[in-house]
Amino acid sequence: MPVFKSICRVCHGGCGVLVHVEDGKVTRVKGDPENPISRGWMCVKGIRSPDIANHPDRLKYPLKRTGLRGENRWKEISWTEALDDISNRIDSLRKTHGPESIAIGQGTGRHHYMHVVRFANTLGTPNWYEPGLAQCFIPRITVSNLTYGGFVVGDYYGEVMPKCIIFWGHNPLVSSADGELAPAVKRSMAEDCATIAIDPRRTETAKRCKTWLPIRPATDAALALAMINVIIEEGLYDSEFVANHTTGFDLLKAHTAQYTPQWAEAITWIKAEAIIKTARTYAGSKPAVLDWGLGLEQNSNSLQTVRAVAILRALTGNLDIPGGDIMGMNILKGYPIMKDKLPADSSKKRIGAEEFKLLSGWRAYMPSAHIPGLFRAMTEGVPYKIRGLLIFGGNPLLTVSNPKKVYEALNALEFLCVTDLFMTPTARLADYVLPAAFWTEIDHVQGFPLVVENFVYANAALTHSGQCRQDEWIMDELSKRLSLPGADMPYKDIYAHQLAPTGLTHEALAQKGCHTPPHKYKKYLEHGFHTPSKKVELYSSVLKRMGYPPLPEYVEPPEGPMGSPKLLSEYPYVLITGGRNREFFHSEQRQVASLRKLRPYPSCELHPEAAARVGISEGEWVTVSTPRGEIRLKARVTEDIHPHVISVEHGWWFPERIDDLESLWESNANCLTADTPPYDPAFGSYRLRGLLCNIKKCAE
């Protein structure tokens, strides 16, 4: 039986794998022990890849809607007919209403991510989106660029191990996010490493930490500011690094004098003594990693929260040193997204461009449309009407806040096309549904960890299923029919362009498995930091020019025990959503029996004190409600959560009930979250955590 090296892409993790193929089908996937990061480890999703690839419900042929939208009635058509029809619909909309009337969407962490951005730019539409962005990763990337001139990741792979790791709103032992894989993190959590988890839940990662700080959701900026206060006031900062490689220290010192641990205690639910001890431990244990997650971004103060946390690295001199937070090698050439093909007047039409400069404006790292405004434009036509939407591997009815509004918006479209592995609630509403290739069926090049690219891998198409096609191929074929710029450079040629600095071909890299040049530390000693001052900007000159506070600030969550006390009698708990589990990736894989049996029902976590208060027992069905709606889940009663916090799993739908519209709202966490203002002023982040909620036993 042939065995091939590859890289698992069930999620955006990137574990090295060995793929067994028989009669054109993948029969087994196991970890590659020669992979320098995963070293033979795989999560349960990856191991079950054959069950996904060979699932009988996989979409196999292009489908054209024959009934009313949502009736789930389809006709199988050829690729030629599908691509001709879709390109004609796109062409008609862009000529009649302008390319900005067409939106392009996708899911998170997909292999085709950058190609979707390229397709949107060449089509001429500024209205591209991905459901994370303002809620996941883009604030961290942007703030890193503003502060250090580049993104950073924990050095879990070098010869020097961290002496301290803070996991802040991050659970990498489950998420294995973006190439920072669970086994590498676990190896770094040695006995002599001070490990600290800052999270309302004692997550799987937190359970392995020596210290757990159960913070009040959406108050992380207050904790970070208080830690800055302690480090400066007690002289614990790296004086040599601060003096030679940063700007704005004196301004930061004066600014944070007000943010004492005692001030933060009243806000964060963390004792002042614990704040002081955490600051001393982090500053006094060098090298140290500050491993942050999306828990910092899913609130209306995401810019300032991430800025405050980012400054801690610089104060302690833990930037780009062995065992610290390291800058990227950026091995690959940048993906040619053809940003120059998007007309300047078009970019000004991007929904959110005027309001949210770091998400949608010209200064944004990856300019995209503001999601609440985008879906509002589909129904209300403000500032103009979005008439068409193409989605590649996304399911906004499960992954965007206010799904009933999303449902209304999708039904208001003149044209909807969805490309995916399976029929989803979103695809069910489409005019055309296209069958996507699974990761064992694609050619691809990927650098990990994401953005920094210290390791490079390749996928090679090893199997084939029906008439499934790689998303990039679909976009390339549409580009040819629409005569778009770049249509003469198909996606496989782009891989050769990216790999040029390595001297490797795609085929050679796929056989080799991984390309890993030696890492170079302290790169700033040669060229400085890639900021206007060439130094780490504790006081951000760029933010100042853009009209945002140049020093981080704390803003109380608008809906919470302090921000909206009148709601407390009806909603006495604080809600968080989005905690990962190993069996599923966001809204995917719930139709896969081998995974679903491991986690058959949607669940929420609550503390025994909360359970006793309302008479809830382990495993009982409960309802969780907010001022926006109510959903139904099974209770998990655990001491591994703050007594005043309720945690709800996200992404839940029931593939076995796809024709039952009401089942879409039954356990959908986004029926509880808020897509309304206030948004983060720079990123437009809306609120998925830190909201008020209640929990009750189900009446039936």
In this predicted structure, the answer to whether residue 700 has a pLDDT above a threshold of 80 is no
Inform me whether the pLDDT recorded for 386 exceeds 80: yes
- What value does the mean pLDDT take over residues 509-513? 93
Residue 528 located in a structural domain = no
pLDDT attached to residue 262 = 98
Residues 6+ apart with CB under 8 A from 124: 94, 99, 100, 341, 342, 343, 346
The token pair at 283 is 């500053």
**58 belongs to a structural domain:** no
Enumerate helices (H) and strands (E) in the chain, giving the number of each.
26, 26
Q: What element of type H or E holds 194?
A: strand 194-198
- 163, 288 Cβ separation under 8 angstroms: yes
* Residue 201 domain-assigned (yes or no): yes
C-beta separation of 288 from 152 below 8 A = no
CA dist., res. 347 & res. 120, Å (int): 11
pLDDT-based confidence at 463, cuts 50/70/90? very high
Residues 28 and 87 in one domain: no
Position 45 confidence tier, pLDDT thresholds 50, 70, 90: very high
Q: Please tell me the distance from the alpha carbon of residue 366 to that of residue 360, in angstroms, as a whole number.
A: 8
Residue 518: pLDDT band with limits 50, 70, 90? very high
Flag whether 509 is in a domain. Answer: no
Provide the token pair at 616: 């809830």
pLDDT digits (tens, 9 = 90+) for 302-329: 999 999 999 999 999 999 999 999 999 9
With tokens 């003096």, the residue in question is 243
What is the amino acid identity at position 625? S
Is pTM, for the whole model, over 0.85?
yes
Answer yes or no: do 246 and 344 share one domain.
Answer: no
The reported pLDDT for the residue numbered 12 is 86
Average pLDDT in the 362-375 region? 96
488 with 343, same domain: the answer is yes
How high is the pLDDT of residue 110?
86
Residue positions counted in the chain: 700
Residue range 71-97: average pLDDT? 98
pLDDT at 277: 98
Asked if residue 112 and residue 36 are part of one domain, the reply reads no
Residue 519 pLDDT > 80: yes
Which tokens is 106 given? 């996708």
* Domain boundary, last residue among 15, 30, 53: 53
Contact 319, 537 (CB under 8 A): no
- How far apart (Å, rounded) are the C-alpha atoms in residues 596 and 599? 5
For the segment 419-448, the average pLDDT, to the nearest whole number, is 97
Confirm whether 647 is domain-assigned. yes
Which CATH number do you get for residue 344? 3.40.50.740
Among residues 465, 467, 413, 419, the alpha carbon closest in space to that of 439 is found at 465
Please tell me the predicted confidence (pLDDT) of residue 51: 98
Domain that holds residue 262: 138-329+534-546
Closest CA to 386 of 338, 436, 351, 423: 351
pLDDT tens-digit series, residues 99-149 = 999 999 999 888 999 999 999 999 999 999 999 899 999 999 999 999 999
User: Does residue 662 register a pLDDT over 80?
Assistant: yes
Q: Are residues 318 and 364 in the same domain?
A: no
Q: State the SS3 of 107-163.
A: CCCCCCHHHHHHHHHHHCCCCEECCCECCEEHHHHHHHHHHCCCCEEECCCCCCCCC
Burial class (CB in 10 A: 0-12, 13-18, 19+), 639: exposed
Closest CA to 551 of 308, 318, 309, 357: 308
Residue 441 three-state SS: helix
Q: Assess whether 70 and 49 both reside in one domain.
A: no
Please give the full DSSP string across 609-675, using - where no structure is assigned.
HHHHHHT--TT-EEEEEETTEEEEEEEEE-SSB-TTEEEE--S---GGGTT-TTHHHHT-GGGTSB-
How many Å apart are CA 589 and CA 14, to the nearest integer? 17
| The residue type at 414 | E
CB 491, CB 472: distance < 8 Å = yes
Closest CA to 149 of 323, 367, 327, 335: 327
Residue 521 exposed, middle or buried by CB count within 10 Å (0-12, 13-18, 19+): middle
502 is a domain residue: no
pLDDT in tens, 228-259: 999 999 999 999 999 999 999 999 999 999 99
Let me know if residue 205 belongs to a domain.
Answer: yes
- In this prediction, residue 344 has a pLDDT band, given cuts at 50, 70 and 90, of confident
C-alpha 285/C-alpha 193 separation (Å) is 9
Q: Any bridge partners for residue 692, and if so which?
A: 574
**Mean pLDDT, rounded, of the chain:** 96
DSSP code for 438: P
Distance in angstroms (rounded) separating the CA atoms of residues 304 and 16: 36
Q: Is the pLDDT of residue 353 over 80?
A: yes
- pLDDT digits over 664-692, tens only? 999 999 999 999 999 999 999 999 999 99
Q: Where is pLDDT greater, at 162 or 109?
A: 162
* 623 vs 472: CA distance, rounded Å: 42
CATH code at position 305: 3.40.228.10
Report if residue 463 sits inside a domain. no
Q: Which CATH number do you get for residue 685?
A: 2.40.40.20
Question: Please, are residues 154 and 391 in contact by the beta-carbon 8 Å criterion?
Answer: no
- SS3 of 573, please? strand
Are 196 and 126 within one domain? no
Whether 160 and 230 share a structural domain: yes
What is the tally of structural domains in the chain?
4
* Least trusted range by pLDDT, from 180-184, 287-291, 691-695: 180-184
Alpha-carbon torsion angle 667, 669, 670, 674, nearest 10:
130
Q: Are residues 16 and 148 in the same domain?
A: no
Please check whether residues 625 and 576 belong to one and the same domain: yes
- Does the pLDDT at position 227 exceed 90? yes
Give every CB contact of residue 5 below 8 A, 6+ residues apart in sequence: 16, 17, 18, 19, 32, 510, 511, 512, 513
* Residue 268, both tokens: 């964060």
The pLDDT value recorded for residue 178 is 87
**Tokens 């090698």 label which residue?**
329
SS3 507: helix
The answer on 167 and 43 residing in a single domain is: no
Amino acid at 173: L
| Same domain, yes or no: 311 and 391 | no
Cβ neighbour number for residue 162 with a 10 Å cutoff = 28
Q: What is the CATH number of the domain that holds 15?
A: 2.20.25.90
